[in-house]
Amino acid sequence: MPQLVPNLWFDGQAEEAANFYVSVFPNSEILKVVRYTEAGPGPAGSVVTVDFSLDGVRFTAINGGPDFTFDEAVSFAVMCKDQDEVDHYWSRLLEGGGQEGPCGWLKDRYGLSWQVVPVRLEELLADPDPERARRATEAMFTMRKIDIAAVEAAADGVGAA
């Protein structure tokens, strides 16, 4: 099967964004930067595309101009093993002007949507006991950054009236 490569459209910030993402995720690197030549259509030397990998997943950032922007219809999920990872990725992805959203969602400073998801949350939301799953879901709906201990407590009925 051919490799699938997400392409991210930026308005002049492709290289800056790629460098930011590479700084956030381990085992990540800039693979290639393509610049306009004298043939254009952009100014010679300015960045057209940046190929980069985030922990082995390849992406391309393109300086496509102001015609298109990101929205929540597409997001990237960061599956976290514990609260320390949730806290780390939440704070790093918000750096420089990101915006918190509900239920573990955020937008980074470039407007790209991320879901910072503890694996434990998925387990609790899929609990075979429908009441535990309901309580976990209701707790998640009250949060921005996911607090695993609070969702577990809610699933267990701790603090419930």
pLDDT at site 161: 46
Whether 39 and 85 map to the same domain: the answer is: no
Give the range of the structural domain holding residue 90, as residue numbers without chain letter.
70-161
> Does 45 lie in the same domain as 2?
yes
∠ CA 10-24-63, rounded to 5°: 10
Strands 75-80 and 113-118: parallel
In the numeric block, which tokens belong to residue 28?
């990540």
State pTM to two decimals. 0.93
Q: What's the half-sphere exposure (Cβ side, CA atoms, 13 Å) at 95?
A: 11
pLDDT of residue 41 exceeding 90, the answer is no
pLDDT tens per residue across span 97-108: 999 999 999 999
Among candidate residues 113, 79, 103, 106, the one with its CA nearest the CA of residue 90: 106
Whether residues 10 and 38 share a domain: the answer is yes
Say how far apart CA 30 and CA 20 lie, in whole Å. 10
Query: What CATH code is carried by the domain that includes residue 40?
Result: 3.30.720.100
| Among 43, 68, 93, residue at a domain's last position | 68
Which of 44, 68, 92 is at the close of a domain? Answer: 68
Comparison of pLDDT for 46 and 160, the residue scoring more: 46
Same-domain status, 156 and 136: yes
Write down the residue that tokens 């997943």 correspond to: 57
Kindly report the number of other CB atoms within 10 A of residue 5's CB atom.
11
154, 105: one domain: yes
DSSP-assigned states of every residue in 77-99: EEEESSHHHHHHHHHHHHTTT-E
